[in-house]
Amino acid sequence: MSDSKIKVLMVGPDRGVHGGISAIVNNYYEAGLDKRVDLKYIGTMKEGSRGKKLLVAATAYFKFLCSLGWCDVVHVNASSDSSIMRKSFFIRAAYRHNKKIVLHQHGGDFVNYFENQISEKRRQYLRRILDMPDAMLVLTPFWKEFFSGLTDEGKIRVFPNCVAVNSEDGFADTLVDGRDMNKLLFLGRICKDKGMDELLNAVEEVGRLNRNVRLCIGGIYEDESYRKKIEGNEFVEFLGWISGKDKAKYLSECGIFVLPSYYEGFPVSVLEAMAGGCVVVASRVGGIPDVVTDGENGVLIEPKSSEMLKNAILRVMEDNDFADKLRVNAYKKVKENYSSSASVERLVNIYNSLV
């Protein structure tokens, strides 16, 4: 590596973990961030037992301390809940070593965590932690406004998630080819907060009218109680966790992508679906309305309403012209605003501004 490159020490969940932050980090690598800067990544969490997670976290912290003398910038990826508390140890260590710190906040449920789930003492602790970074990246304008009440607004930058986008000439014209509008796709954690009850109910209702409907679920069971409901359902195909070519295959085949979550940050899966040519039907929560405009490049519904979800699915199933308009507009929106290459360029500029 050239000595002229900025040395960045980045921490976050292991790149093999099933989740949004890992997907974003992998997108950065695919877009060449490690070619633009001297990048060292330390995974602080792996899936498994509590003992395994503690061992991984302790090992990661030791590696982090050993690498602090090497780096120019520390980039900390955190979500909500206990993630930000765990990452506070890394932020404090970097702060004590006078390193430039970028805190990248990804979580979609931070308000509830901060206001309802922790004590006043812990809230004060988190305020001190949030004051330590030199730059704070948040997913949407809402989060910039929220965190401006906890720390210096001047250092907070809206930095939405990104995906790899096929930018070949004429690709948008191929998005309508080979689409099966009877096939729905869900990608993510299988749990109540993702709207799984409403989704299964809506698919059952659609199935009464259209026996050919199929919901393809790609994900992992965070709540095992859904296994029997899903794997015994005639309208559902369980895929397990899919990535790479398998994910691309389903994104190119399925006509509709569904995400009826109760809350979200800025879901990568929505961007992937839009870039891949699916019609997105998703909840009006978190950062989703910042990228999906109802009736223009997708359909937005209120969370916790299986009736609205059913009607939205039927609408795009039955109106091909409407569906084609949504998918083409969605692809163009992601290509212009959320490509991985543009995000990497902006991230390098942020590092440069700090150093």
Mean pLDDT of 52-64: 94
Region of poorest pLDDT, from 48-52, 186-190, 305-309: 48-52
Lowest mean pLDDT among 47-51, 57-61, 167-171: 167-171
Q: What pLDDT, on the 0 to 100 scale, is given for residue 109?
A: 82
CA atoms of 34 and 20, how far apart (whole Å): 19
The mean pLDDT of the chain is 93
Residue 215 has what pLDDT? Answer: 98
Residue 20 has pLDDT above 90, yes or no: no
pLDDT tens digit sequence for 187-238: 999 999 999 999 999 999 999 999 999 999 999 999 999 999 999 899 999 9
Percentage of residues in the chain with pLDDT exceeding 70?
98
pLDDT of residue 105 exceeding 90, the answer is yes
What gap in Å lies between CA 149 and CA 182, rounded to an integer? 46
First to last CA, the chain: 18
Please, which residues have CB within 8 angstroms of residue 152's CB and are 6 or more apart in sequence? 131
pLDDT exceeds 80 at position 259: yes
Domains, the chain, with CATH or none: 7-162+339-354 (3.40.50.2000), 171-337 (3.40.50.2000)
